[in-house]
């Protein structure tokens, strides 16, 4: 029987100039807002100008918090939440790539709750988060439509800020205009597109997938692979449109399934070696794709038909684009990873019975013993 359960509460405005065309939506959320963003992305992409025009037109007051870093820190979200409280804003707008968007999700919680920061990961807060609008400027995470906020925890005992996810924070509305991705350089565009591809492939083979999420995942993967296959120098406008659409499809897919072991394993490369998120996940993607195809040949046939390619070509393409540098892991580091991955539920949703021992074998295979 078909499994068709699916939940998506985000109102998605999509397409060129969608902010200008749906300006009145902002009015419905209140008279004053906090804009949460990074140092440059909102400005160089043109998204901030478009948002400010709309706010001014509708006489909505605003404050800008532009201190969100890549792989956002929990402490910055707490700080921005306090500003939102003291300024008594009605809603929050996140502008940027996955980092500012995820941060804005957390800020919307801290803005309406006096709470112990770590409780956010348990969904343990009393008041509803403030209404949230997201405006994406990268084609990668799909955070616009996912319920996840991935934060680096720099409060508490951990010496290195480790990534943890809040699981249930949807925006009220998201604006997806690929034109904001034109200012992304080649390497960030490739890294973020690889993130989208990881979302699609991990979700497609996830044990939590269903007919609906698999449809989104296949659509997204097809768009990314089409772009990578034809890539010849700079990304064209048409290719950027496809990548942005793919990132939304990937987000719609992981909103149902979450991600699998490529993401869990990729996190340490970002935290300890500053590898861009999309590249870090894609390091483990060829092995994941091979495993998924080996364990479910029917699903594999359907995916490869859609992508119009064979497994070995696809793995080569991903490896060439990823270009990871070898790293040497000490036994102590490996032991720490084992302890961490024992508690990781992304392993359980990966295809087969992927264990921590399998993960360590994969680490040795990829990085050398
Ligand atoms: P990002 O960390 O948001 O941004 C990467 C870099 O690109 C930053 O320097 C940023 O500048 C810049 N940038 C962003 N948009 C730009 C534009 N249009 N033009 C020029 N520069 C631009 O990258 P991301 O890959 O989108 O997000 C990664 C984060 O998302 C990670 O923390 C990851 O764990 C998380 N993630 C979340 C989900 C989810 O479902 N919520 C899914 C996957 C990953 P600024 O510094 O100015 O911002
Ligand atoms: Zn990701």
pLDDT, tens digit (0-9, with 9 covering 90-100), for 11-26: 999 999 999 999 999 9
Ligand 1: residue of 121, 135, 138 to mutate (most ligand atoms within 8 A of CB) is: 138
Alpha-carbon gap, residue 180 to 89, rounded angstroms: 26
List, in sequence order, every beta strand (DSSP E) within the chain: 11-14, 32-37, 61-65, 91-96, 132-136, 149-153, 162-166, 173-176
Q: What is the pLDDT of residue 343?
A: 86
Q: What is the pLDDT of residue 30?
A: 97
Q: What is the pLDDT of residue 159?
A: 60
The DSSP element (H or E) to which 188 belongs, if any, is helix 186-205
Q: What is the pLDDT of residue 369?
A: 58
Alpha-carbon gap, residue 34 to 48, rounded angstroms: 12
Cross-strand bridge partners of residue 164: 151
What CA–CA distances, in Å, run from 272 to 317, 337, 369?
A: 26, 11, 19
Residue 325's pLDDT band (cuts 50, 70, 90): confident
Is the pLDDT confidence value at 275 over 90?
A: yes
311-322 helix and 186-205 helix, angle to the nearest 10 degrees = 140
Residue 86's pLDDT band (cuts 50, 70, 90): very high
User: Is residue 180 lining ligand 1, measured as CB closer than 6 Å?
Assistant: yes
Q: What is the pLDDT of residue 205?
A: 98
What is the number of helices (H) and of strands (E) in the chain?
17, 8
Ligand 2: distance of its center to the CA of 263 in Å? Answer: 6
Tokens 């084609």 belong to residue: 139
Alpha-carbon gap, residue 70 to 99, rounded angstroms: 5
DSSP state of 28: T
Ligand 2: distance of its center to the CA of 3 in Å? Answer: 25
Q: What is the pLDDT of residue 65?
A: 98
User: Is residue 141 lining ligand 1, measured as CB closer than 6 Å?
Assistant: yes
Angle at 269 (CA atoms; ends 145, 170), nearest 5 degrees:
15
Q: What is the pLDDT of residues 49-74, one digit of tens each?
A: 999 999 999 999 999 999 999 999 99
Q: What is the pLDDT of residues 144-190, one digit of tens each?
A: 999 999 999 999 876 678 999 999 999 999 999 999 999 999 999 99
Alpha-carbon gap, residue 191 to 199, rounded angstroms: 13
Ligand 1: distance of its center to the CA of 141 in Å? Answer: 8
Q: What is the pLDDT of residue 158?
A: 61
Q: How far apart are the first and last CA of the chain?
A: 45
DSSP state of 156: S
Residue whose CA is at the smallest distance from ligand 1 atom 31: 71
């Amino acid at each position: 029987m078909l499994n068709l359960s699916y939940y998506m509460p985000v109102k998605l405005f999509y397409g060129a100039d969608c902010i200008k065309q749906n300006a009145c939506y902002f009015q419905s959320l209140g008279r004053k807002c906090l804009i949460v963003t990074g140092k440059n992305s909102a400005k160089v992409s043109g998204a901030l100008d478009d948002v400010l025009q709309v706010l001014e037109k509708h006489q909505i007051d605003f404050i800008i918090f532009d201190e969100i870093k890549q792989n956002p820190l929990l402490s910055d979200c707490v700080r921005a939440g306090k500003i939102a409280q003291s300024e008594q804003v009605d809603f929050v707008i996140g502008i940027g790539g996955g980092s500012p968007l995820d941060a804005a999700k957390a800020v919307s919680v801290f803005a309406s709750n006096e709470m112990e920061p770590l409780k956010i990961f348990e969904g343990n807060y009393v008041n509803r988060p403030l209404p949230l609008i997201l405006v994406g400027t990268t084609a990668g995470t799909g955070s616009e439509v996912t319920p996840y906020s991935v934060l680096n925890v720099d409060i508490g005992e951990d010496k290195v800020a480790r990534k943890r996810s809040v699981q249930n924070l949807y925006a009220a509305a998201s604006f997806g205009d690929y034109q904001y991705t034109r200012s992304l350089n080649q390497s960030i565009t490739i890294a973020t597109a690889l993130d989208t591809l990881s979302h699609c492939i991990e979700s497609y083979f996830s044990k939590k997938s269903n007919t609906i999420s698999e449809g989104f995942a296949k659509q997204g993967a097809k768009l990314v692979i089409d772009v990578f296959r034809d890539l010849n120098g700079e990304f064209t406008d048409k290719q950027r449109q496809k990548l942005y659409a793919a990132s939304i499809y990937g987000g719609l897919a992981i909103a149902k399934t979450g991600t699998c072991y490529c993401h869990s394993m990729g996190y340490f490369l970002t935290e300890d070696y500053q590898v861009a998120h999309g590249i870090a996940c894609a390091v483990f993607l060829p092995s994941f794709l091979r495993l998924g195809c080996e364990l479910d040949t029917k699903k594999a046939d359907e995916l490869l038909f859609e992508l119009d390619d064979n497994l070995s070509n696809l793995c080569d393409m991903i490896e060439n684009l990823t270009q990871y540098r070898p790293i040497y892991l000490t036994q102590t580091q490996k032991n720490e990873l084992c302890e961490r991955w024992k508690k990781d539920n992304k392993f359980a949703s990966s295809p087969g019975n992927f264990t921590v021992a399998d993960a360590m074998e994969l680490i040795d295979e990829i990085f050398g013993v």
